[in-house]
Amino acid sequence: MTHRASEQVWLFGYGSLMWRPDVEFTARVAAVLPGYQRRFWQRSTDHRGTVAHPGRVVTLVPVAGARTAGIAYRLRDPVPTLARIDHREQQGYQRRELEVHAAATAWPARQRGLRATVYVADPDNPYFSADETPAHSAQIIARAHGPSGANLEYARALVTTLEVLRSELALAEHELAYEREVLAHAEALAR
């Protein structure tokens, strides 16, 4: 989707865009994306791994009744910003326009639904690694390292950020169970 420079554009981050957005924004709000789960099913050879030893980063998979916590940013200058994010998310991610719901504490109920750009790695991209168990993903995360740093640091930053968002978004314990499980396995293997 092409955006005009004058329109209000939101970007929803659910992975590294949460703690390292690298975008200029005029508003930032905790939000959830309904109908999707976050999974470490995307191989990374350009950020958290290499071609020889791909790391794992998160993507979204559709699951009825699920919610994915993240952060929505209202972009100051959408056209060049999204072009820069297109480059950052180049390995299999595509832009989608989806509805996210801002935290109840952030906006009145009538304004909580936001149309946002979300980068999703579809299952047919060559980097997709479907149906990995948390233990298998953790084995890779514990050892992978790429130009953006250790894959384990990525997993730690993800869980740390989600823990901060937990109360603001009223997340249930089970909504963070997968990410915590992968991190716990990866940290045990890295010792």
Per DSSP, the three-state class of 76 is coil
Is the Cβ–Cβ distance between 156 and 15 less than 8 Å? no
Is the Cβ–Cβ distance between 54 and 144 less than 8 Å? yes
Query: Which residues have a catalytic role annotated?
Result: 89
Is the Cβ–Cβ distance between 77 and 5 less than 8 Å? yes
Is the Cβ–Cβ distance between 56 and 146 less than 8 Å? no
User: How far lies 154's CA from each of 22, 23, 61, 141, 170, in Å?
Assistant: 16, 19, 19, 9, 23
Is the Cβ–Cβ distance between 64 and 34 less than 8 Å? no
Is the Cβ–Cβ distance between 154 and 49 less than 8 Å? no
